[in-house]
Copies of this chain bind each other. A is one copy, B any other.
Amino acid sequence: MKLYNYFRSSAAYRVRIALNMKGIKPENVFVHLQKSEQLAAGYLQINPQGLVPTLVDGDEVITQSLAIIEYLDETHPVPPLLPATPAERARVRSIALAIACDIHPIDNLRVLKYLTGVLKVSEEQKNAWYAHWVREGLSALETRLAADARTGRCCHGDSPTLADICLIPQLANARRVTLDLAVFPTLLRIEEACNALPAFADAAPARQPDAA
């Protein structure tokens, strides 16, 4: 397998965790987002959205981190990244999507560039935007996880799932804008449990070969 990867991309970070959990070591191709390498013609042929990550498995070219992770889980079922019943899987997917749809894309690099480049908002306004959507999304998640007995050491039970795979990179992102995370005790407790696992720790941005 080949992974088009970038150390700071939290979508790529999710896929790195999943690959680590499955014990798969892909060949890495680094796509430097700050240098706009994702918009080079060669990469756009592989991924017309110009986003990372992309996974190549034989003839299959798969984009979108959650689609990649579901694919890895179907083709390499051990350990499972989703629980056993439809209702439990729905809960885990819902938590993952609340992050992957409703927090992350609004604070993505291309959106921040539009805010400063086209709408000419100040650096301060840009940071307030970023913090607003992270705070709103994580607050809802904290409420949800704290209130549900199915939350364990991880988002769902005591083993990491797709939900944790989305949560941990989002929390790492939140720290980059110096958001005070102490108001999210459940999320921080889950983060600590997950980051104690090598699959999560080894996927962290600072540990990647392309980290600046």
Report the stretch among A28-36, A102-110, A177-185 that lies at the interface: A102-110
Q: Which residues of B contact A50 (CB under 8 A)?
A: 140
Binding site for B on A (CB under 8 A): 48-51, 60, 62-64, 66-68, 70-71, 74-75, 86-87, 89-91, 93-94, 97-98, 100-102, 104-106, 111, 114-115, 118-119, 121, 125, 128-129, 132, 137, 139-141, 143-144
Are B119 and A62 closer than 8 Å at their CB atoms?
Answer: no
Please state the number of chain copies in the assembly: 2
Q: Provide 5 A-B residue pairs closer than 8 Å at the C-beta atoms, listed in order of the A residue.
A: A49-B98, A49-B102, A62-B91, A64-B97, A100-B101
Q: How far is the CA of A116 from the CA of B97 in the complex (A)?
A: 26
Are A66 and B97 closer than 8 Å at their CB atoms?
Answer: yes
Are A90 and B62 closer than 8 Å at their CB atoms?
Answer: yes
